[in-house]
Amino acid sequence: MASRIVRAACPHDCPDTCALLVTVEDGRAVKVAGDPDHPGTQGVLCTKVSRYAERTYHPDRLTTPMRRVGRKGEGKFVAISWDEALEEIATRLKGIAARDPQAILPYSYAGTMGLVQGDSMAARFFHKLGASLLDRTICASAGATGLRYTYGASVGMDMEHVPDAKLVIIWGGNPIASNLHFWTRAQEAKRRGATLVAIDPYHSLTAEKCHRHIAPMPGTDGALALSLIHVLIRDDLLDHNYIDRHTVGFDALAERASQFPPAVAAEICGIPAEDIEWLAGLYGQLAVRERQPVAIRLNYGMQRAHGGGQAVRAVACLPSLVGAWRHAAGGLQLSTSGFFPVDNAALQRPDLLPGWPKQPRTVNMSTIGDALLDEGGAAGPKIEALVVYNSNPVAVAPDSRKVAAGFAREDLFTVVLEHFRTDTADYADILLPATTQLEHIDIHKAYGHTYFLANNAAVAPLGEALPNTEIFRRLARRMDFAEPCFADSDEDIAAQAIVRGDARAQGISWASLKEQGWQKLSLPAAPFAEGGFPSPSGKCEFYSETMAREGLDPVPAYVPPYEAPATAPELAARYPLAMISPPARNFLNSSFVNVDSLRATEGEPHLDIHPEDAAARGIVHGAMVRAFNDRGSMLARARVTDRARQGLVVGLSIWWKKLATDGKNANELTSQRLTDLGRAPVFYDCLVQVEACTEGAALTS
Ligand code: SF4
C-alpha cells in the first residue's frame, strides 16, 4: 500500500492554526494528526479536526453542481454540469451588472482562513465586476478596532512564553473549547505556580479549572477594566517609567477611571467589589512590586456587546500601566494577525475596481437580514444577486428570522459554494461543490501565534468539487475578464501572499513553506518591552488623537449594553434574562454540526439556567424550554446549573437550524444592532424570557 505524509494546516477560524500531518494511503486520507514538531501544535489537535477525514469523506459531501427545484429553503436540488452552472451564473450576473453591479453582493467569512481559498481570486472577481463590497465584521472587528486605536494594530504577546507567567487572566473566552493550545500552556504555567483567573459570565470548563472565576454580566467588561485601572492608580501600582516613556494620555485615562471605584463597577457588573480589589491588587503587586510577568489572554466573547470596542481598549491599557510588556511572558494577546506581512493588494487586487480608487457601496455582513430586505435607494440598489462562500449566514448571522426572509426572496439570485447542504445552501439557486482543505493548496497566517503555514493538497478533489479559486477563475473566463491575474494558478497566488522584503518574514516564502510546513516570523520575544507600538505615536494610546479626530470618545469608556435593566428597563421587565451563545466544544461556529460523532457528543441544543431562575419559572432539569423575545424564539433542553450565573442563560452554539429541535437556533433571538467600534454584531447583548413547555406543545409551537 502506497502511504505518504502530507504537510497541511488547519483552515478553521481558531487562533491555534495547527500544523497538520495527513497520512494518505492509495490516494485516500486516512489520518489527520497534529505535527509534533510545530511548537504551537505540539502534536495535538482538537477533537473536531482530528475527525477531519470523517468530515471530508462524509456521505453528504456535495460532489456535483446543483440547481434548485424546490422552494427556497426546502433544499431540493437536481445535479447539473459545471458548464450549465457556470453559464447560468455568468448570464445572470452579466444581466444584473449591466444595470448596476452594486446589486451583486459577495458574502464570505472564515469558513477557511486560507489566504488563497479565502479571498484572492474571489475578491479579484468581485472587484473587477464592481460588486458591492462586504464589510466583514461578524466576529472580531469590534476588538480589532479597539486594539488598533490603542496599539495601532492587532498585535500582542507571544503565547509560547505563557508557561513563564505568574498570573494568567483569561478574559472573555473558553480556551478548552476554542483555544486549546493556549490552554495547555496556561496549565503549564499553573503547574509552575501561576495563578489562573477566568473572567466570563459563564462558569465554563475553563473557568472551572482556574483558581478564581469572576463572572460579570455580559457587556459590562469595560466597567470592570476601568475599575481595575482605578485601583491600580489609587494604590500606585504603576510602572511610572513605562507609562512616561511608552504611553500617551495617562491623565485622561486616570480621570475616566476615577468614575469607576470598585463599589460602582461591582454594581454595574453584578459582582462583589472584593473581586475587583483582589484582582487589581494581585496584578499590580506581581507586575510592579515583584517585577514578575503577568499575562492577559483576551478573547472575542467580551467584545460581542454594544461597548465591545471600548471594553477592549480599556483592557488593553492594563499591561502598559504596570509595565507587563517588559517580559516575554507578560502583556496581552487578543490577536497576533497584525504582525503578518500579507500582501492583500496583490491577493485581492482592489485596483481592478471600476473607477478605482473610488469604491462601490459597502454592505455590513452583520446586518445581512436588513440588507436583503431593503428595497434600495440613495445608499445603493436592492440586492439582486448574492454569492456565498466560506460562510453559512442563515445559521450564523444575527436576527435569523429576517436573514431567512431575505434569503427566501424569490427575486434574489443566490449562488452558494459549499461542502455540505447547510442551512444557507438550502436557499441557493445554484449550489456549487467546493473542495475541503485536504483537496487544495493554501497558505495561512494565524491570530494566536506567529507562524506562517503551508497547506499542501493531500488528495484529489472528491467528485467534481473544485477549489474556490478555480470556480472564480472559470467564472471570470465566462465573464470575459481578460486581466492576466485571472489566469494565476493557486501556486502563483500563494507565492504572492507574503510582502517581499519585509524583515519579519525574512527567509519565508511559499517555496520554503511548502517544504517545511511552517516558519516563525522574526519578532523580538517581548515585542513592546521598549515600546515601539505600531500606533501613530509609536506608544500605547490611552488617549487616541485619531479617535478624537473621527468624533469618537478618545479615552477608553464604559458603554453599557443596549439590552440591560439600566438602559432598557421596559424591555428588561418583559425579558429579564441575559442570553449568550458561546461556542459548543464540538462545533466550530457552524462547522462540524453535521459530523454525526461530534453532534452526538453535544446531544441536542441545551439552555443552561441558574437554579433560582429555573425554580422561579417552574423549570426542572431536563425539561424542554422555550427562550423568546420580540425577535423570535427557540426550543432547548434545560440544564439547571449554577454554571450560568443568576440572571443569565447560556445556549452553547452554533447549531444548524435544521438539525436543532425546532429548526431554530440562538440567532433567532440575537439582534442586528452594532458595537460602538468596528460595526460588529452584539450577539451577547440579548435579553430573553424563558418558559417551560410540554414536549408536544413545544414541538408544534
Ligand atoms: S480548530 Fe483550532 S485547535 Fe482544532 S485543529 Fe484547528 S487550529 Fe487546531
Nearest atom in ligand 1 to 17's CA: 7
Q: Per-residue pLDDT for 695 more than 60?
A: no
Q: Per-residue pLDDT for 661 more than 80?
A: yes
Q: How confident is the model at residue 344 (pLDDT cuts 50, 70, 90)?
A: very high
Of all protein residues, whose CA lies closest to atom 6 belonging to ligand 1?
10
Residue 701: per-residue pLDDT:
40
- Cα-Cα-Cα-Cα dihedral of 518, 521, 527, 531, to 10°? -150
pLDDT digits (tens, 9 = 90+) for 517-555: 999 999 999 999 999 999 999 999 999 999 999 999 999
Of all protein residues, whose CA lies closest to atom 3 belonging to ligand 1?
46
Q: Ligand 1 mean position to 420 CA, how many Å?
A: 20
Q: Ligand 1 mean position to 45 CA, how many Å?
A: 6
Q: Ligand 1 mean position to 237 CA, how many Å?
A: 38
For residues 393-431, one letter each, b for 16 or more C-beta atoms within 10 angstroms of the residue's C-beta and e for the rest, the string is: bbbbbbbbebbbebbebeebbbbbbbbbbbbbbbbbbbb
Compute the radius of gyration of the chain from its Cα atoms: 25
Q: What is the distance between the alpha carbons of residues 329 and 352, in angstroms, rounded to a whole number?
A: 44
Q: How close are the terminal C-alpha atoms of the chain, in Å? A: 55
Q: What is the mean pLDDT of the chain?
A: 96
Q: Ligand 1 mean position to 176 CA, how many Å?
A: 11
Q: Ligand 1 mean position to 50 CA, how many Å?
A: 9
Q: Per-residue pLDDT for 698 more than 50?
A: no
Q: Ligand 1 mean position to 511 CA, how many Å?
A: 24
Rounded to 5°, the CA angle 193-196-260 comes to 130
Q: How many CA atoms lie within 13 A of 369 on its CB side?
A: 22
Nearest atom in ligand 1 to 20's CA: 5
What mean pLDDT do residues 216-245 have? Answer: 98
Pocket test for ligand 1, best of 21, 49, 337, 585 (most atoms within 8 A of CB): 49
Name every protein residue with a CB atom under 6 angstroms from any ligand 1 atom.
10, 12, 14, 16-18, 45-46, 48-49, 180, 588
* Residue among 468, 355, 367, 357 at smallest CA distance from 101: 355
Q: Ligand 1 mean position to 171 CA, how many Å?
A: 20
What mean pLDDT do residues 304-321 have? Answer: 98
Residue 592: per-residue pLDDT:
87
114 to 13, 390, 445: CA distances (angstroms): 10, 10, 8
Q: How confident is the model at residue 694 (pLDDT cuts 50, 70, 90)?
A: confident
Q: Ligand 1 mean position to 15 CA, how many Å?
A: 8
Pocket test for ligand 1, best of 32, 46, 595 (most atoms within 8 A of CB): 46
Nearest atom in ligand 1 to 14's CA: 2
pLDDT digits (tens, 9 = 90+) for 138-156: 999 999 999 999 999 999 9
- Kindly report the length of the chain: 701
The enclosing H or E element of 115 equals: none
Q: How confident is the model at residue 595 (pLDDT cuts 50, 70, 90)?
A: confident
DSSP state of 163: G
439 to 5, 29, 82, 434: CA distances (angstroms): 14, 10, 18, 9
Q: What is the distance between the alpha carbons of residues 581 and 529, in angstroms, rounded to a whole number?
A: 37
Q: What is the distance between the alpha carbons of residues 505 and 499, in angstroms, rounded to a whole number?
A: 8
Cis upstream peptide for 293 (omega within 30°): no
Q: How many CA atoms lie within 13 A of 460 on its CB side?
A: 4
Q: Ligand 1 mean position to 9 CA, how many Å?
A: 9
Q: What is the distance between the alpha carbons of residues 637 and 684, in angstroms, rounded to a whole number?
A: 20
What mean pLDDT do residues 304-326 have? Answer: 98
Q: Ligand 1 mean position to 406 CA, how many Å?
A: 33
Q: Ligand 1 mean position to 516 CA, how many Å?
A: 19
Pocket test for ligand 1, best of 13, 35, 45, 112 (most atoms within 8 A of CB): 45
Nearest atom in ligand 1 to 588's CA: 1
Q: How confident is the model at residue 667 (pLDDT cuts 50, 70, 90)?
A: very high
Q: How confident is the model at residue 700 (pLDDT cuts 50, 70, 90)?
A: very low
Q: What is the distance between the alpha carbons of residues 261 and 464, in angstroms, rounded to a whole number?
A: 63
Q: Per-residue pLDDT for 636 more than 80?
A: yes
> What are the two backbone dihedrals, phi and then psi, of residue 558, each rounded to the nearest 5 degrees?
-95, 115
Nearest atom in ligand 1 to 10's CA: 6
Q: How confident is the model at residue 1 (pLDDT cuts 50, 70, 90)?
A: low
What percent of the chain stands above pLDDT 90?
Answer: 94
Q: Per-residue pLDDT for 681 more than 50?
A: yes
413-418 and 294-298 strand pairing: unpaired
Long-range contacts of 480-487 (CB under 8 A, 24+ apart): 481/125, 481/128, 483/124, 483/128, 483/352, 485/124, 485/349, 485/352, 486/121, 486/124, 486/125, 486/128
Residue 643: per-residue pLDDT:
97
Q: Ligand 1 mean position to 154 CA, how many Å?
A: 20
Q: What is the distance between the alpha carbons of residues 283 and 279, in angstroms, rounded to a whole number?
A: 6
Cβ atoms of 424 and 39 closer than 8 Å? no
For residues 612-647, one letter each, b for 16 or more C-beta atoms within 10 angstroms of the residue's C-beta and e for the rest, the string is: ebbeebebeeebbbbbbbebbbbbbebbbeebbbeb
Of all protein residues, whose CA lies closest to atom 8 belonging to ligand 1?
18
Q: Per-residue pLDDT for 58 more than 60?
A: yes
Q: Ligand 1 mean position to 46 CA, how many Å?
A: 6
Of all protein residues, whose CA lies closest to atom 7 belonging to ligand 1?
17
Pocket test for ligand 1, best of 41, 48, 444 (most atoms within 8 A of CB): 48
pLDDT digits (tens, 9 = 90+) for 243-291: 999 999 999 999 999 999 999 999 999 999 999 999 999 999 999 999 9
Give every CB contact of residue 196 below 8 A, 6+ residues apart in sequence: 168, 170, 186, 189, 190, 209, 210, 211, 212
Cβ atoms of 8 and 24 closer than 8 Å? no
Nearest atom in ligand 1 to 41's CA: 8
Of all protein residues, whose CA lies closest to atom 4 belonging to ligand 1?
46
The enclosing H or E element of 363 equals: strand 362-364
What mean pLDDT do residues 594-616 have? Answer: 94
Cβ atoms of 444 and 11 closer than 8 Å? yes
Nearest atom in ligand 1 to 11's CA: 6
> What are the two backbone dihedrals, phi and then psi, of residue 379, each rounded to the nearest 5 degrees?
-75, -10
